Amino acid sequence: MDKFVVCITGASGIIYGIRLIEELSKIGKVYTIVSKNGYLVMEKEHNIKKSDFIKKFSSNKNVVIVSEKNISSKLASGSFLSKFKAVIIAPCSMSTLGAVANGVNYNLIHRVSEVALKERVKLILLIREMPYSLIHIENMKKVSISGGIIAPASPAFYNYPKSIDDMINFVVGKILDLIGVENSLYKRWMND
């Protein structure tokens, strides 16, 4: 069974992380870390309290919720994390991007990202911000040079989305493509 880490930070677009957990838990084990600000945005954007989120996934045996404060978690160990298929931060706040780009570890999300880079585990940062400052661009460059993948939350329109769900599924489907997970969440480009 494949193993994944999905981290949710305090940027708009919490639904991307939730949908990723739902999809990945169908095929593997998903360790989930939500930052304090992630829970704050979750409540503001979706009226989902921390307790509701934990309750939603507590009955799913393939989802393990780990506190961002648990810096001694086995996820912080290269010998454990090296066996994972991917670490995905969705959405990734600009402050999390800055911490990852500069090797600063204030919480378990930062540490897991650092370990993923050093162990060559696929690291994807679903950036949800606009416009970008030069600092953001430089931090994205640092992560990319270090082996991470910067994936802006940019839905396409060639597939004629009919709902917000269609747009969310496009972005989540593209992330699944990046980590080699078969999916039919979105209509792919077809050109004769």
CA 22/CA 18 separation, integer angstroms: 6
Residue 41 lies in a domain: yes
pTM value? Answer: 0.95
The domain total for the chain is: 1
Residues found in the chain: 192
CATH code: domain of residue 56 = 3.40.50.1950
Reading the block at residue 19, the tokens are 């949908």
Residue 186 lies in a domain: no
- pLDDT per position as a tens digit, 131-175: 999 999 999 999 999 999 999 999 999 889 999 999 999 999 999
Residue 152 lies in a domain: yes
Residue 44 lies in a domain: yes
Residue 188 lies in a domain: no
Per-residue exposure over 13-39, b if at least 16 CB sit within 10 Å of its own CB, e if not = bbbbbbbbbbbbbebebbbbbbbebbb
Residue 189 lies in a domain: no
Reading the block at residue 90, the tokens are 């969705």
pLDDT at 191 over 80: no
> Which residues span the domain enclosing 127?
2-178
Residue 151 lies in a domain: yes
Residue 185 lies in a domain: no
- pLDDT per position as a tens digit, 57-98: 999 999 999 999 999 999 999 999 999 999 999 999 999 999
